[in-house]
């Protein structure tokens, strides 16, 4: 009798132990996966930063020359023996295409999002939503190729120049970030509690007044977040821009002249340079600027996120 | 009265914007598909590309894209399941979790060209794997992971907490609850997310040009020994994907039928994305129905 009791307790404690073991193992395995991601992020930061800084540390270029210099010819040395790495044309190009495309895109994205949520939700959900999801997924080279075969010839025929330039890149990016901006704006507007809308309508406000004074104001941080994500996508886009901007590292005189962005020069140059040389290090510094900009975008999103509460 | 007129005008403006958007979106899709479909033939999607003449196909590129997609998913699905489960169930609400979340967000917002260059530096050069499928699949994993982790986390969080409590109340341990209750319930969302991520991975090019390379060696599709250099399965051979091919032929423009090849390839890419999207919706719904028996 007592034997069986002892056996039973032994069995039970063994089972309990194995359960604790399973618990710990599960926790450990999932924690390892997270640790791997942190490790990856840290090594990307480390590698790109150390490579990017070597232009300044090893090749002795000055940071102000890099950020504000207008001449980009990393193979050459100037009078003081420093490499000629003025990245201003690329930095300006990147900011120009990002800002222009965001400015053109924003009204359409917000207008479309309002239409989908406030004016005709049925049509929005049935037709616009799936099309937008599909467009988010269309590869950037396809956008680039469409720009190359449609936008560039159009600009060449109707305006001056070769058609390659900031204008073409802006048009391609506008279409490209439209789905991103719009679907995130829809999410932001949908998060506005229905009670606010009802209260406004009950006070006798028209639909437009409700949209303008209640819905859009309440959803503002979320909509701004959507704009920032769209801008981040435009800033980091490489191939679609590279295909239509013309890739000459000078500050263009007009929107129709060939220009360049950080990503386009990076994409073009990396294959033609040798690791460890000045030309290559200078490209890594461009990559570092891209990395820092995406950190800044995330910081802005985080700050906006803190204000995203509905009281 | 004024307010009512303003309301009318605003409504009309919104309708015009919506109409413009529909025209733009439909026009874009129609342009890509109509222009490309006429170039698609069995010969086009199975034969290898030509270097200097017209009439080349995209066979090896299509295979490379699919093979890279499978490898990438094999690596990134288990990792993102683990990390997603941790973020949804184990991570406490404190500053460390907050930092963790920021890290994942930063990773997901990195431009894909930066991820590709990191892959070039680390996998291609430091690890010595060269331009290869292996380097490409790992770079794509880095690019894909943050998004997938988010999908898994959101799907698990979306499971009603009554189910979680029911599991725990039955005396089942936390891990067993996760494995037998939460994961099955979250499965429709996770699978939809995996398929949508597949579309993203399938069309990615910027992360691949310096990791999987821009060339495709002569492949012998009867040789399935993964260690042979002409075998399509060899993970250490360079592999130009469909998206990279579109970019390359437009940049080099050596072949005379650049336009035909790229529009055909673009249409193939878009068709695949379309299939991914439609099947994501359909499979997600189906699994949901089967699991909830509704």
Using DSSP's 3-state secondary structure scheme, residue A83 falls into strand
Q: CA neighbours within 13 Å on the CB side: how many for B282?
A: 6
d(CA A117, CA A270): 45
How close, in Å, is residue B90 to chain A by CA atoms?
Answer: 7
Of B81, B118, B206, the CB nearest to A48: B118
Instruction: Output the DSSP codes for A254-267.
Output: STTS-B--HHHHHH
d(CA B120, CA B100): 26
pLDDT, one tens digit per residue, over B33-91 is: 888 888 887 877 777 777 777 767 788 888 888 888 999 999 999 999 999 999 888 88
pLDDT > 70: what percent of chain A? 97
User: A133 pLDDT exceeds 90?
Assistant: no
CA distances from A284 to A50, A154, A278, B214 (A): 9, 35, 10, 21
Question: In the structure, what pLDDT confidence band is assigned to residue A104 with cuts at 50, 70 and 90?
Answer: very high
**Res A168: pLDDT:** 87
Backbone φ and ψ for A72, nearest 5 degrees, come out as -120, 105
- A259 pairs with which residues across the strands? A246
Question: Residue ranges of the domains in chain B?
Answer: 38-292
- The answer to whether the CB atoms of A127 and B22 lie below 8 A apart is yes
Nearest CA in chain B to A23: B175
pLDDT, one tens digit per residue, over A50-59 is: 888 887 877 7
Q: Which residues contact A25 (CB under 8 A, 6 or more apart)?
A: B175
Q: CA-CA-CA-CA torsion for A230, A236, A238, A244, nearest 10 degrees?
A: 50
Other Cβ atoms less than 10 A from the Cβ of A10: the count is 10
pLDDT > 90: what percent of chain A? 9
- Contacts with A38 from chain B: Cβ below 8 Å: 100, 103
d(CA A295, CA B149): 19
- The answer to whether the CB atoms of A232 and B109 lie below 8 A apart is yes
- The answer to whether the CB atoms of A275 and B125 lie below 8 A apart is yes
CA distances from A25 to A32, A180, B84, B174, B281 (A): 10, 39, 16, 12, 34
What are the percentages of helix, strand and coil residues in chain B, rounded to 5? 70, 0, 30
**Res B79: pLDDT:** 92
pLDDT, one tens digit per residue, over A34-49 is: 899 889 889 999 988 9
- The answer to whether the CB atoms of A37 and B82 lie below 8 A apart is no
Chain-wide mean pLDDT for chain A?
Answer: 84
Architecture of domain B38-292: Orthogonal Bundle (1.10)
Other Cβ atoms less than 10 A from the Cβ of A154: the count is 14
In terms of pLDDT, which residue wins out, B292 or A24? A24
Question: In the structure, what pLDDT confidence band is assigned to residue A102 with cuts at 50, 70 and 90?
Answer: very high
Using DSSP's 3-state secondary structure scheme, residue A76 falls into strand
Give the predicted TM-score (pTM) of the model: 0.86
Q: Does B69 contact A at CB distance below 8 Å?
A: no
**Res B276: pLDDT:** 86
Question: In the structure, what pLDDT confidence band is assigned to residue A101 with cuts at 50, 70 and 90?
Answer: very high
- Pick from A97, A141, A203 the residue to mutate for testing the B interface (most B CBs within 10 Å): A141
How close, in Å, is residue B189 to chain A by CA atoms?
Answer: 16
User: B203 pLDDT exceeds 80?
Assistant: yes
Residues B219-248 have a mean pLDDT of 78
- Contacts with B79 from chain A: Cβ below 8 Å: 33, 36-37
How close, in Å, is residue B95 to chain A by CA atoms?
Answer: 14
d(CA A169, CA B161): 48
Q: Which of A112-126, B2-16, B97-111, B212-226 has the lowest mean pLDDT?
A: B212-226
Contact between B86 and A30 under an 8 Å Cβ cutoff? The reply is yes
User: B223 pLDDT exceeds 90?
Assistant: no
**Res A105: pLDDT:** 92
**Res A311: pLDDT:** 43
How close, in Å, is residue B87 to chain A by CA atoms?
Answer: 8
Q: Which of A50-54, A126-130, A147-151 has the lowest mean pLDDT?
A: A126-130
**Res B109: pLDDT:** 85
**Res A308: pLDDT:** 56
pLDDT, one tens digit per residue, over A214-255 is: 888 888 888 998 999 999 989 988 888 888 887 777 777 777
- The answer to whether the CB atoms of A298 and B102 lie below 8 A apart is yes
Q: Which residues contact A128 (CB under 8 A, 6 or more apart)?
A: A112, A115, A116, B18, B21, B22, B25
H or E element that contains B31? helix B2-37
User: A310 pLDDT exceeds 70?
Assistant: no
User: Which range among A50-64, A103-117, B26-40 has the greatest average pLDDT?
Assistant: A103-117
- Contacts with A235 from chain B: Cβ below 8 Å: 111
pLDDT, one tens digit per residue, over A174-226 is: 999 998 899 889 988 988 888 888 888 889 888 888 888 888 888 888 899 89
Q: How much is the ipTM here?
A: 0.87
- What single DSSP character describes residue B251? H
Q: Closest by alpha carbon to A62, among A83, A91, A90?
A: A83
pLDDT, one tens digit per residue, over B126-178 is: 888 888 888 889 999 998 899 899 889 989 988 888 888 888 888 888 888 88
């Amino acid at each position: 009798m007592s034997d069986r009791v002892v056996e039973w307790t032994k069995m039970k404690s063994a089972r309990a132990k194995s359960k604790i073991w399973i618990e710990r193992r599960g926790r450990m395995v999932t924690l390892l996966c997270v640790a791997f991601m942190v490790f990856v992020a840290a090594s990307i930061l480390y590698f790109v930063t150390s490579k990017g800084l070597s232009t300044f540390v090893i090749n002795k270029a000055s940071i102000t020359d890099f950020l504000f210099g207008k001449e980009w010819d990393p193979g050459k040395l100037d009078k003081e023996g420093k490499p000629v790495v003025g990245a201003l044309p690329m930095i300006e190009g990147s900011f120009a295409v990002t800002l222009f495309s965001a400015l053109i895109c924003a009204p359409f994205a917000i207008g479309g999002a309002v239409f989908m949520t406030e004016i005709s939700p049925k049509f929005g959900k049935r037709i616009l939503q799936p099309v937008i999801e599909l467009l988010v997924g269309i590869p950037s080279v396809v956008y680039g190729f469409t720009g190359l075969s449609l936008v560039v010839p159009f600009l060449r025929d109707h305006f001056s120049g070769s058609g390659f330039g900031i204008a073409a890149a802006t048009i391609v990016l506008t279409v490209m970030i439209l789905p991103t901006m719009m679907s995130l704006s829809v999410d932001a507007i949908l998060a506005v509690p229905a009670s606010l809308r009802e209260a406004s309508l009950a006070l006798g406000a028209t639909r437009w007044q409700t949209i303008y004074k209640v819905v859009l104001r309440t959803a503002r941080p979320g909509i701004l977040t959507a704009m920032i994500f769209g801008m981040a996508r435009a800033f980091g886009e490489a191939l679609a821009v590279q295909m239509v901007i013309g890739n000459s590292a000078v500050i263009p005189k007009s929107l129709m002249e060939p220009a360049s962005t950080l990503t386009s020069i990076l994409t073009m140059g990396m294959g033609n340079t040798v690791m460890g040389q000045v030309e290559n290090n200078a490209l890594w510094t461009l990559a570092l600027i891209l990395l820092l900009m995406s950190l800044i975008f995330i910081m802005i999103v985080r700050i906006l996120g803190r204000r995203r509460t509905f009281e | 009265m004024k307010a009512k007129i303003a309301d009318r005008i605003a409504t009309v403006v919104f309708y015009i914007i919506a109409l413009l958007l529909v025209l733009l979106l439909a026009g874009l899709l129609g342009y890509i598909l109509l222009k490309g479909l006429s170039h698609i033939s069995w010969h086009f999607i199975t034969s290898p590309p030509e270097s200097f003449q017209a009439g080349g196909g995209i066979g090896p590129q299509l295979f490379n894209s699919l093979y890279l997609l499978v490898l990438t998913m094999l690596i990134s699905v288990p990792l993102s399941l683990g990390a997603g489960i941790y973020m949804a169930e184990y991570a406490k609400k404190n500053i460390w979790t907050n930092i963790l979340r920021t890290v994942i967000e930063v990773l997901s917002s990195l431009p894909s060209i930066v991820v590709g260059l990191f892959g070039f530096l680390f996998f291609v050069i430091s690890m010595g794997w060269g331009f290869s499928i292996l380097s490409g699949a790992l770079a794509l994993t880095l690019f894909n992971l943050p998004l997938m982790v988010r999908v898994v986390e959101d799907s698990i969080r979306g499971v009603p907490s009554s189910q979680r409590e029911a599991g725990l109340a039955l005396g089942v341990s936390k891990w067993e609850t996760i494995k037998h209750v939460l994961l099955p319930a979250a499965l429709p969302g996770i699978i939809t997310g995996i398929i949508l991520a597949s579309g993203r991975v399938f069309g990615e090019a910027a992360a691949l040009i310096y990791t999987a390379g821009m060339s495709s060696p002569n492949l012998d599709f009867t040789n399935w020994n993964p260690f042979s250099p002409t075998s399509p399965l060899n993970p250490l051979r360079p592999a130009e994907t469909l998206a990279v091919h579109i970019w390359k032929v437009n940049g080099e423009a050596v072949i005379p039928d650049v336009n035909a090849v790229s529009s055909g390839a673009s249409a193939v890419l878009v068709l695949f994305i379309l299939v991914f999207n439609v099947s994501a919706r359909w499979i997600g719904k189906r699994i949901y129905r089967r699991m909830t028996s509704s």
